[in-house]
Protein backbone atom coordinates (compact mmCIF):
# COMPACT_ATOMS: atom_id res chain seq x y z
CA UNK A 1 0.00 0.00 0.00
CA UNK A 2 1.31 3.48 -0.83
CA UNK A 3 2.08 5.56 2.19
CA UNK A 4 2.58 9.33 2.21
CA UNK A 5 4.58 11.01 4.95
CA UNK A 6 2.76 14.13 6.12
CA UNK A 7 3.89 16.78 8.60
CA UNK A 8 0.88 18.22 10.44
CA UNK A 9 1.06 21.69 11.96
CA UNK A 10 -2.41 22.41 13.41
CA UNK A 11 -1.20 25.77 14.81
CA UNK A 12 -3.56 28.07 16.68
CA UNK A 13 -7.28 28.65 17.25
CA UNK A 14 -9.56 27.00 14.71
CA UNK A 15 -6.46 25.69 12.92
CA UNK A 16 -6.57 22.82 15.41
CA UNK A 17 -10.27 22.01 14.81
CA UNK A 18 -10.10 22.15 11.02
CA UNK A 19 -6.91 20.07 10.87
CA UNK A 20 -8.59 17.39 12.96
CA UNK A 21 -11.64 17.43 10.65
CA UNK A 22 -9.42 17.27 7.57
CA UNK A 23 -7.41 14.30 8.83
CA UNK A 24 -10.60 12.34 9.56
CA UNK A 25 -11.65 12.84 5.94
CA UNK A 26 -8.21 12.18 4.41
CA UNK A 27 -7.78 8.99 6.44
CA UNK A 28 -11.23 7.79 5.39
CA UNK A 29 -10.29 8.51 1.76
CA UNK A 30 -7.09 6.50 2.29
CA UNK A 31 -9.05 3.52 3.59
CA UNK A 32 -11.37 3.68 0.58
CA UNK A 33 -8.74 4.26 -2.10
CA UNK A 34 -5.93 2.10 -0.71
CA UNK A 35 -3.25 4.45 0.63
CA UNK A 36 -2.20 5.50 4.07
CA UNK A 37 -0.98 8.75 5.57
CA UNK A 38 1.93 8.47 7.94
CA UNK A 39 1.54 11.64 9.96
CA UNK A 40 3.67 13.37 12.55
CA UNK A 41 2.12 16.28 14.43
CA UNK A 42 4.21 19.30 15.38
CA UNK A 43 2.83 21.53 18.15
CA UNK A 44 4.39 24.69 16.64
CA UNK A 45 2.09 27.56 17.51
CA UNK A 46 1.85 30.73 19.61
CA UNK A 47 1.53 28.58 22.73
CA UNK A 48 4.75 26.80 21.74
CA UNK A 49 6.36 30.23 21.33
CA UNK A 50 5.33 31.28 24.83
CA UNK A 51 6.85 28.08 26.22
CA UNK A 52 10.07 27.98 24.19
CA UNK A 53 10.72 31.48 22.83
CA UNK A 54 10.48 30.32 19.18
CA UNK A 55 7.64 29.38 16.84
CA UNK A 56 9.54 26.26 15.78
CA UNK A 57 12.87 24.72 16.75
CA UNK A 58 16.06 25.91 15.03
CA UNK A 59 16.12 22.72 12.92
CA UNK A 60 12.35 22.95 12.15
CA UNK A 61 12.84 23.50 8.41
CA UNK A 62 15.29 20.59 8.17
CA UNK A 63 12.79 18.37 9.99
CA UNK A 64 10.00 19.31 7.57
CA UNK A 65 12.23 18.70 4.54
CA UNK A 66 12.00 14.93 5.07
CA UNK A 67 8.20 14.88 4.53
CA UNK A 68 6.25 14.39 1.30
CA UNK A 69 3.91 17.28 2.17
CA UNK A 70 3.07 19.66 4.98
CA UNK A 71 -0.48 20.34 6.15
CA UNK A 72 -1.04 23.49 8.22
CA UNK A 73 -4.22 24.63 10.01
CA UNK A 74 -3.63 28.31 10.84
CA UNK A 75 -1.13 30.34 12.78
CA UNK A 76 -1.56 33.46 14.90
CA UNK A 77 -2.88 34.51 18.28
CA UNK A 78 -2.38 38.27 18.30
CA UNK A 79 -3.56 38.72 21.90
CA UNK A 80 -0.44 37.01 23.19
CA UNK A 81 2.11 36.99 20.36
CA UNK A 82 2.40 39.77 17.75
CA UNK A 83 1.52 38.57 14.24
CA UNK A 84 4.81 39.96 12.98
CA UNK A 85 6.54 37.45 15.29
CA UNK A 86 4.30 34.40 14.80
CA UNK A 87 3.90 34.54 11.03
CA UNK A 88 7.53 35.47 10.38
CA UNK A 89 8.55 32.64 12.71
CA UNK A 90 6.62 29.81 11.07
CA UNK A 91 4.33 30.15 8.05
CA UNK A 92 6.30 32.62 5.94
CA UNK A 93 9.73 30.96 6.43
CA UNK A 94 8.27 27.59 5.37
CA UNK A 95 6.89 29.07 2.14
CA UNK A 96 10.26 30.66 1.39
CA UNK A 97 12.58 27.85 2.51
CA UNK A 98 10.89 25.30 0.28
CA UNK A 99 10.46 27.70 -2.66
CA UNK A 100 6.70 27.25 -2.57
CA UNK A 101 6.42 30.06 -5.06
CA UNK A 102 2.99 29.20 -6.44
CA UNK A 103 0.07 29.74 -4.11
CA UNK A 104 -3.00 28.28 -5.80
CA UNK A 105 -6.39 29.42 -4.54
CA UNK A 106 -9.60 28.30 -6.30
CA UNK A 107 -12.79 30.32 -5.98
CA UNK A 108 -16.12 28.93 -7.07
CA UNK A 109 -19.53 28.42 -5.52
CA UNK A 110 -20.07 24.95 -4.11
CA UNK A 111 -23.44 23.28 -4.71
CA UNK A 112 -26.08 24.67 -2.37
CA UNK A 113 -24.01 27.64 -1.20
CA UNK A 114 -25.55 31.03 -1.78
CA UNK A 115 -22.83 33.61 -2.13
CA UNK A 116 -23.48 37.29 -1.45
CA UNK A 117 -23.50 38.20 -5.17
CA UNK A 118 -26.20 38.05 -7.79
CA UNK A 119 -23.51 36.69 -10.12
CA UNK A 120 -23.28 32.93 -10.35
CA UNK A 121 -21.24 30.49 -12.37
CA UNK A 122 -17.80 31.92 -11.65
CA UNK A 123 -14.78 29.64 -11.51
CA UNK A 124 -11.59 31.53 -10.73
CA UNK A 125 -8.13 30.18 -10.06
CA UNK A 126 -5.98 32.75 -8.31
CA UNK A 127 -2.24 32.15 -8.64
CA UNK A 128 -0.48 34.21 -6.03
CA UNK A 129 3.28 34.78 -6.01
CA UNK A 130 4.33 33.37 -2.65
CA UNK A 131 8.00 33.98 -1.90
CA UNK A 132 8.96 37.58 -2.65
CA UNK A 133 7.34 40.89 -3.68
CA UNK A 134 5.81 42.90 -0.87
CA UNK A 135 6.59 40.05 1.58
CA UNK A 136 10.35 40.22 1.04
CA UNK A 137 10.91 41.24 4.65
CA UNK A 138 13.36 43.94 3.52
CA UNK A 139 13.08 47.37 5.04
CA UNK A 140 13.52 48.94 8.41
CA UNK A 141 12.82 51.77 10.79
CA UNK A 142 15.05 54.71 11.62
CA UNK A 143 14.73 57.35 14.32
CA UNK A 144 12.28 55.10 16.16
CA UNK A 145 9.77 56.91 18.31
CA UNK A 146 10.90 60.33 17.12
CA UNK A 147 9.09 62.93 15.03
CA UNK A 148 11.32 62.22 12.07
CA UNK A 149 10.79 58.45 12.19
CA UNK A 150 10.73 56.68 8.81
CA UNK A 151 9.65 53.10 8.13
CA UNK A 152 10.25 51.33 4.83
CA UNK A 153 8.97 47.99 3.54
CA UNK A 154 10.75 47.12 0.33
CA UNK A 155 8.93 45.07 -2.29
CA UNK A 156 11.47 42.91 -4.12
CA UNK A 157 10.66 41.50 -7.54
CA UNK A 158 13.28 39.38 -9.30
CA UNK A 159 13.18 38.35 -12.96
CA UNK A 160 13.42 34.70 -11.91
CA UNK A 161 10.61 35.09 -9.37
CA UNK A 162 8.24 36.98 -11.66
CA UNK A 163 8.91 34.86 -14.72
CA UNK A 164 8.26 31.56 -12.98
CA UNK A 165 4.95 32.62 -11.41
CA UNK A 166 3.69 34.11 -14.69
CA UNK A 167 4.70 30.94 -16.56
CA UNK A 168 2.97 28.84 -13.89
CA UNK A 169 -0.17 30.93 -14.43
CA UNK A 170 -0.05 30.35 -18.19
CA UNK A 171 0.38 26.60 -17.68
CA UNK A 172 -2.73 26.59 -15.48
CA UNK A 173 -4.65 28.66 -18.04
CA UNK A 174 -3.75 26.13 -20.76
CA UNK A 175 -5.48 23.43 -18.71
CA UNK A 176 -8.57 25.59 -18.18
CA UNK A 177 -10.40 28.18 -20.28
CA UNK A 178 -7.20 29.73 -21.67
CA UNK A 179 -7.68 33.19 -20.25
CA UNK A 180 -5.19 34.87 -17.92
CA UNK A 181 -5.54 38.17 -16.11
CA UNK A 182 -2.39 39.70 -14.69
CA UNK A 183 -3.03 42.05 -11.79
CA UNK A 184 -0.72 44.94 -11.01
CA UNK A 185 -0.75 48.60 -10.02
CA UNK A 186 1.57 49.69 -12.81
CA UNK A 187 -0.11 53.08 -13.12
CA UNK A 188 1.21 54.05 -9.67
CA UNK A 189 4.10 51.65 -9.01
CA UNK A 190 6.47 52.48 -11.81
CA UNK A 191 9.33 50.01 -11.19
CA UNK A 192 8.14 46.65 -9.92
CA UNK A 193 4.74 46.58 -11.58
CA UNK A 194 5.92 47.95 -14.93
CA UNK A 195 8.58 45.21 -14.82
CA UNK A 196 5.86 42.64 -14.03
CA UNK A 197 3.82 43.82 -17.04
CA UNK A 198 6.87 43.52 -19.31
CA UNK A 199 7.63 40.01 -18.14
CA UNK A 200 3.98 39.01 -18.62
CA UNK A 201 4.09 40.24 -22.22
CA UNK A 202 7.32 38.32 -22.86
CA UNK A 203 6.05 35.04 -21.37
CA UNK A 204 2.70 35.47 -23.17
CA UNK A 205 4.51 35.00 -26.51
CA UNK A 206 5.10 31.36 -25.52
CA UNK A 207 1.35 30.83 -25.07
CA UNK A 208 -0.38 32.23 -28.17
CA UNK A 209 -3.56 30.28 -27.37
CA UNK A 210 -4.07 32.12 -24.09
CA UNK A 211 -5.83 35.49 -24.15
CA UNK A 212 -4.30 37.93 -21.69
CA UNK A 213 -5.82 40.87 -19.83
CA UNK A 214 -3.89 43.35 -17.70
CA UNK A 215 -5.82 44.90 -14.83
CA UNK A 216 -5.02 47.16 -11.94
CA UNK A 217 -5.73 45.78 -8.49
CA UNK A 218 -8.40 48.38 -7.73
CA UNK A 219 -10.35 47.66 -10.92
CA UNK A 220 -9.93 43.92 -10.29
CA UNK A 221 -11.58 44.23 -6.87
CA UNK A 222 -14.61 45.80 -8.54
CA UNK A 223 -14.65 43.19 -11.30
CA UNK A 224 -14.55 40.28 -8.88
CA UNK A 225 -17.73 41.62 -7.33
CA UNK A 226 -19.51 42.81 -10.48
CA UNK A 227 -18.51 40.24 -13.15
CA UNK A 228 -16.53 37.38 -11.62
CA UNK A 229 -17.69 34.94 -14.31
CA UNK A 230 -15.50 36.77 -16.86
CA UNK A 231 -12.38 35.63 -15.00
CA UNK A 232 -10.44 32.40 -15.40
CA UNK A 233 -6.83 32.42 -14.12
CA UNK A 234 -5.61 35.46 -12.17
CA UNK A 235 -1.91 35.97 -11.52
CA UNK A 236 -0.98 38.45 -8.81
CA UNK A 237 1.88 39.48 -6.57
CA UNK A 238 2.12 38.26 -2.99
CA UNK A 239 0.18 41.09 -1.31
CA UNK A 240 -2.34 41.68 -4.09
CA UNK A 241 -2.97 37.92 -4.26
CA UNK A 242 -3.46 37.82 -0.51
CA UNK A 243 -6.10 40.54 -0.65
CA UNK A 244 -7.85 39.20 -3.75
CA UNK A 245 -8.19 35.74 -2.23
CA UNK A 246 -10.04 36.95 0.86
CA UNK A 247 -12.32 38.75 -1.61
CA UNK A 248 -12.54 35.50 -3.57
CA UNK A 249 -13.46 33.70 -0.35
CA UNK A 250 -16.17 36.27 0.35
CA UNK A 251 -17.84 35.80 -3.03
CA UNK A 252 -17.71 32.01 -2.44
CA UNK A 253 -19.81 32.51 0.66
CA UNK A 254 -17.11 33.08 3.27
CA UNK A 255 -13.64 32.23 4.49
CA UNK A 256 -14.80 28.77 5.48
CA UNK A 257 -14.88 27.80 1.78
CA UNK A 258 -11.53 29.03 0.44
CA UNK A 259 -8.79 26.43 -0.05
CA UNK A 260 -5.13 26.94 -0.78
CA UNK A 261 -1.99 25.10 -1.86
CA UNK A 262 1.55 26.43 -1.54
CA UNK A 263 3.30 24.55 -4.31
CA UNK A 264 6.97 24.09 -4.97
CA UNK A 265 6.84 23.03 -8.63
CA UNK A 266 10.58 22.72 -9.28
CA UNK A 267 12.89 21.68 -6.53
CA UNK A 268 11.57 18.50 -4.96
CA UNK A 269 10.99 20.14 -1.59
CA UNK A 270 7.66 19.59 0.21
CA UNK A 271 4.62 21.67 -0.72
CA UNK A 272 2.27 22.95 2.00
CA UNK A 273 -1.53 22.91 2.11
CA UNK A 274 -3.68 25.16 4.30
CA UNK A 275 -7.00 26.97 4.13
CA UNK A 276 -6.96 30.67 3.16
CA UNK A 277 -8.41 31.68 6.52
CA UNK A 278 -6.59 32.31 9.77
CA UNK A 279 -6.98 31.12 13.35
CA UNK A 280 -10.26 33.06 13.81
CA UNK A 281 -9.86 33.88 17.54
CA UNK A 282 -13.47 35.18 17.58
CA UNK A 283 -14.90 31.69 17.00
CA UNK A 284 -12.09 29.48 18.33
CA UNK A 285 -13.14 26.73 20.72
CA UNK A 286 -16.83 27.04 19.79
CA UNK A 287 -17.08 24.10 17.37
CA UNK A 288 -18.58 26.38 14.70
CA UNK A 289 -15.62 26.85 12.34
CA UNK A 290 -16.44 25.65 8.85
CA UNK A 291 -13.88 22.92 8.01
CA UNK A 292 -14.70 22.82 4.28
CA UNK A 293 -11.85 25.15 3.23
CA UNK A 294 -9.44 22.97 5.19
CA UNK A 295 -10.82 19.68 3.87
CA UNK A 296 -10.70 21.02 0.30
CA UNK A 297 -7.05 22.03 0.91
CA UNK A 298 -6.46 18.45 2.07
CA UNK A 299 -7.96 17.20 -1.20
CA UNK A 300 -5.50 19.48 -3.05
CA UNK A 301 -2.71 17.80 -1.07
CA UNK A 302 -3.90 14.33 -2.11
CA UNK A 303 -4.08 15.43 -5.72
CA UNK A 304 -0.53 16.76 -5.46
CA UNK A 305 0.57 13.41 -4.02
CA UNK A 306 -0.95 11.59 -7.00
CA UNK A 307 -4.11 10.38 -5.23
CA UNK A 308 -6.27 11.94 -7.91
CA UNK A 309 -9.31 9.71 -7.46
CA UNK A 310 -9.41 10.25 -3.71
CA UNK A 311 -9.08 14.01 -4.18
CA UNK A 312 -11.99 14.07 -6.64
CA UNK A 313 -14.10 11.89 -4.31
CA UNK A 314 -13.53 14.32 -1.42
CA UNK A 315 -14.65 17.26 -3.56
CA UNK A 316 -17.76 15.30 -4.57
CA UNK A 317 -18.43 14.46 -0.91
CA UNK A 318 -18.03 18.10 0.14
CA UNK A 319 -20.57 19.14 -2.49
CA UNK A 320 -22.93 16.32 -1.54
CA UNK A 321 -22.91 17.77 1.99
CA UNK A 322 -23.34 21.40 0.94
CA UNK A 323 -26.06 20.47 -1.57
CA UNK A 324 -28.06 19.22 1.43
CA UNK A 325 -27.54 22.56 3.16
CA UNK A 326 -24.87 21.33 5.58
CA UNK A 327 -22.34 24.06 6.33
CA UNK A 328 -23.86 26.54 3.93
CA UNK A 329 -24.97 29.15 6.47
CA UNK A 330 -22.55 30.57 9.08
CA UNK A 331 -23.16 29.04 12.50
CA UNK A 332 -26.03 26.78 11.40
CA UNK A 333 -23.94 23.57 11.47
CA UNK A 334 -21.16 22.66 13.86
CA UNK A 335 -17.66 21.75 12.73
CA UNK A 336 -18.48 18.20 13.76
CA UNK A 337 -21.80 18.10 11.81
CA UNK A 338 -20.08 19.24 8.63
CA UNK A 339 -17.22 16.76 9.03
CA UNK A 340 -19.67 13.92 9.64
CA UNK A 341 -21.73 14.86 6.58
CA UNK A 342 -18.61 14.88 4.37
CA UNK A 343 -17.49 11.53 5.84
CA UNK A 344 -20.92 10.00 5.28
CA UNK A 345 -20.98 11.18 1.66
CA UNK A 346 -17.45 9.87 1.11
CA UNK A 347 -18.33 6.46 2.48
CA UNK A 348 -21.70 6.23 0.72
P1 LIG B 1 -9.34 35.04 10.01
O2 LIG B 1 -9.33 34.44 8.65
O3 LIG B 1 -8.78 34.20 11.08
O4 LIG B 1 -10.82 35.49 10.39
C5 LIG B 1 -11.54 36.49 9.68
C6 LIG B 1 -13.06 36.29 9.92
O7 LIG B 1 -13.49 35.13 9.21
C8 LIG B 1 -13.41 36.05 11.37
O9 LIG B 1 -14.63 36.68 11.67
C10 LIG B 1 -13.55 34.55 11.47
O11 LIG B 1 -14.43 34.10 12.48
C12 LIG B 1 -14.08 34.19 10.09
N13 LIG B 1 -13.62 32.84 9.69
C14 LIG B 1 -12.38 32.49 9.34
N15 LIG B 1 -12.31 31.19 9.07
C16 LIG B 1 -13.54 30.68 9.26
C17 LIG B 1 -14.11 29.37 9.15
N18 LIG B 1 -13.38 28.31 8.78
N19 LIG B 1 -15.41 29.22 9.46
C20 LIG B 1 -16.16 30.28 9.81
N21 LIG B 1 -15.69 31.54 9.93
C22 LIG B 1 -14.39 31.74 9.66
O23 LIG B 1 -8.51 36.41 9.89
P24 LIG B 1 -7.99 37.41 11.04
O25 LIG B 1 -9.03 37.55 12.09
O26 LIG B 1 -7.49 38.59 10.31
O27 LIG B 1 -6.73 36.66 11.65
C28 LIG B 1 -6.69 35.95 12.85
C29 LIG B 1 -5.28 35.41 13.08
O30 LIG B 1 -4.96 34.46 12.06
C31 LIG B 1 -4.20 36.48 12.98
O32 LIG B 1 -3.19 36.13 13.87
C33 LIG B 1 -3.73 36.38 11.56
O34 LIG B 1 -2.44 36.89 11.34
C35 LIG B 1 -3.79 34.88 11.37
N36 LIG B 1 -3.88 34.41 9.99
C37 LIG B 1 -3.22 33.25 9.72
C38 LIG B 1 -3.34 32.67 8.48
C39 LIG B 1 -2.61 31.40 8.22
O40 LIG B 1 -2.10 30.78 9.11
N41 LIG B 1 -2.56 30.93 7.00
C42 LIG B 1 -4.18 33.25 7.52
C43 LIG B 1 -4.86 34.44 7.85
C44 LIG B 1 -4.73 35.00 9.09
C1 LIG C 1 -2.72 34.01 4.01
C2 LIG C 1 -2.44 34.82 5.26
C3 LIG C 1 -0.95 35.10 5.41
C4 LIG C 1 -0.47 35.84 4.19
C5 LIG C 1 -0.59 35.91 6.67
C6 LIG C 1 -1.13 35.27 7.90
C7 LIG C 1 0.86 36.20 6.78
O8 LIG C 1 -3.18 35.99 5.25
O9 LIG C 1 -2.17 32.91 3.88
O10 LIG C 1 -3.51 34.46 3.18
O11 LIG C 1 -0.65 37.06 4.08
O12 LIG C 1 0.09 35.19 3.31
MN1 LIG D 1 -4.59 36.12 3.64
Q: What is the pLDDT of residues 62-119, one digit of tens each?
A: 999 999 999 999 999 999 999 999 999 999 999 999 999 999 999 999 999 999 998 7
Q: Are residues 130 and 20 in the same domain?
A: no
For 184-225, how does the pLDDT look when each residue is reduced to its tens digit (9 = 90+)?
999 999 999 999 999 999 999 999 999 999 999 999 999 999
The reply to whether 197 belongs to the active site is no
Distance separating alpha carbons of residues 336 and 348, to the nearest angstrom: 18
CATH number for 57: 3.40.718.10
Q: What percent of the chain has pLDDT over 70?
A: 100
With CA atoms as reference, report the closest residue to 327 among 306, 345, 307. Answer: 345
Furthest CA-CA distance within the chain: 66
Q: Is residue 346 part of a domain?
A: yes
For 315-324, how does the pLDDT look when each residue is reduced to its tens digit (9 = 90+)?
999 999 999 9
Distance separating alpha carbons of residues 311 and 296, to the nearest angstrom: 8
- Residue 162 has a pLDDT of 98
Query: Residue 311, Cβ neighbours under 10 Å: how many?
Result: 22
- Residue 204 has a pLDDT of 98
Looking at 230, 246, 337, 340, which residue is catalytic?
Answer: 246
Q: What percent of the chain has pLDDT over 90?
A: 96
- Residue 164 has a pLDDT of 98
Q: Are residues 97 and 223 in the same domain?
A: no
Nearest CA to ligand 1 atom 31: 76
Q: Is residue 347 part of a domain?
A: yes
Give me the number of domains the chain comprises: 2
Q: Is residue 258 part of a domain?
A: no
Q: Are residues 69 and 125 in the same domain?
A: no
Phi, psi of 233, rounded to the nearest 5 degrees? -100, 135
Nearest CA to ligand 2 atom 5: 87
Specify the DSSP element, H or E, that contains 321.
helix 308-323
Burial track 50-72 (b if 16+ CB lie within 10 A, e otherwise) = eeeeebbeeebeeebeebbbbbb
- Residue 266 has a pLDDT of 83
Domain that holds residue 40: 1-101+266-348
Question: 304 to each of 18, 96, 166, 312, how far by Cα in Å?
Answer: 20, 19, 20, 12
Question: Quick one: average pLDDT of 254-283?
Answer: 96
Distance separating alpha carbons of residues 114 and 237, to the nearest angstrom: 29
Question: Mutation test of ligand 1: which of 105, 241, 255, 330 has the most ligand atoms closer than 8 Å to its C-beta?
Answer: 255
Last residue of one domain, picked from the residues 217, 252, 287: 252
- Residue 329 has a pLDDT of 87
Nearest CA to ligand 1 atom 8: 280
Q: Is residue 321 part of a domain?
A: yes
The reply to whether 218 belongs to the active site is yes
Question: Quick one: average pLDDT of 10-28?
Answer: 98
In angstroms, what is the span from residue 7 Cα to ligand 2's centroid? 20
- Residue 196 has a pLDDT of 98
- Residue 311 has a pLDDT of 98
- Residue 118 has a pLDDT of 85
Q: Has this prediction a pTM greater than 0.95? A: yes
- Residue 190 has a pLDDT of 95
In angstroms, what is the span from residue 87 Cα to ligand 2's centroid? 8
Distance separating alpha carbons of residues 328 and 235, to the nearest angstrom: 28
The reply to whether 83 belongs to the active site is no
Question: Quick one: average pLDDT of 50-60?
Answer: 98
User: What's the pLDDT band for 239 if we cut at 50, 70, 90?
Assistant: very high
Q: Is residue 106 part of a domain?
A: no
Amino acid sequence: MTSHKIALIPGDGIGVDVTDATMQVLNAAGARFGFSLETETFPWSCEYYLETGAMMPADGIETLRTFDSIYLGAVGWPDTVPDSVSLHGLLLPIRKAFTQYANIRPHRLLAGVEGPLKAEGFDILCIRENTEGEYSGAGGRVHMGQDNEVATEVAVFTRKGVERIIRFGFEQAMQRRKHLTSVTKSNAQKYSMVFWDEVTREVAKEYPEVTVSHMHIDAMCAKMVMNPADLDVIVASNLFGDILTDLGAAIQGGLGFAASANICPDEGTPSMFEPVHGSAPDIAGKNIANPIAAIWSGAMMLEHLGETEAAAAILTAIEAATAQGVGTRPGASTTEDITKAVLAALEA
